[in-house]
Structure 1
Amino acid sequence: MQIAPSLSMELLTAADGVGGVVLDASGITFADSAVLHALVETHERTDLRIAAVPAHLRRVLSVTGLETVFHLYPTLEAALADTRS
């Protein structure tokens, strides 16, 4: 099963016409360039908040420099509580 195309479609659908999207990343078990592309594309369309980022995804985001681009939160509750937008 390929997660990235499904993730990309879900994120982009959610981003259409809304002020922001909160992604609970705790279930992401593998992150390749397709997953990163989906996250970047969504970020370009709306305020993307990524919650509960697992260690392996945080490492990928750190190595690619995307850790400073995205709004990362330790928990889903923290992402939902942020009132920046």
Structure 2
Amino acid sequence: MTNEDTVPHDAVLVVMSGGKRVSTNTVRVAPNSSRTVSVINHSGRYSFRLKTNGERANTTVKLPVVEGDRRSFTRYTITKTGKITTMNYHED
């Protein structure tokens, strides 16, 4: 998670799989900084629910994204206006 805003943001990330909560992570992300919020080491379908200072983002991904990929990422960015953007990508 990257915070491009000029103020810190408290973030709560809930990870779900198969209707069960896998983890809940709460972090404070300082201005103009990045933090790893969650690491998942198992294949499967996951839903991520992120909430920061009034904004929300929901994303569902199937891991691995591409068969044989080494690492898959979901990157959340808190923009300078406080909005959340989401990007999914993988490494071959």
TM-score norm. by structure 2 comes to 0.27
Decide which structure has the larger Cα Rg and report it. Answer: 2
More helix by share: 1
More strand by share: 2
TM-score norm. by structure 1 comes to 0.28
